Amino acid sequence: MDDSYCETTPSRAAEPEPAAGPPYAACVQCQEPTEYPESTKGITLCPVCEWREAERTACSG
Ligand SMILES: [Zn+2]
């Protein structure tokens, strides 16, 4: 048995950011800041509205 391989990896709380930073485009539904940059064209949704839209789309049919 080799105990030298039993090293625990340190838990990291920091996660990589999807966008560089503000300004973010406003959500078309609730005006909350989205994860997308302001230069994003078309409909921008915040994570919450995006999730709801996905649920609605999944329920169609
Ligand atoms: Zn929203």
Residues 16 and 11: their CA atoms lie apart, in Å, by: 14
Residue 50's closest CA among 38, 58, 60?
58
Per-residue pLDDT tens for 29-57?
A: 999 999 999 999 999 999 999 999 999 99
Q: Quick check: 11 pLDDT over 80?
A: no
Q: How far is the CA of 53 from the centre of ligand 1 (A)?
A: 10
Q: How far is the CA of 6 from the centre of ligand 1 (A)?
A: 45
Q: Is the pLDDT of residue 9 over 90?
A: no
Task: Looking at 1-61, list the stretches that DSSP marks H as alpha helix, in order from N- to C-terminal side.
Answer: 47-59
* Distance of CA 55 from the midpoint of ligand 1 (Å): 14
Q: Ligand 1 centroid to 22 CA: how many Å?
A: 16
Q: Token pair 């080799």 is at which residue?
A: 2
Distance from C-alpha of 28 to C-alpha of 55, rounded to nearest angstrom: 17
In the Cβ-directed half-sphere of 57, how many Cα atoms lie within 13 Å? 6
Q: What is the mean pLDDT of the chain?
A: 82
Indicate whether this model's pTM tops 0.75: no
pLDDT at 16 over 60: no
Cα of 16 from ligand 1 centre, angstroms: 22
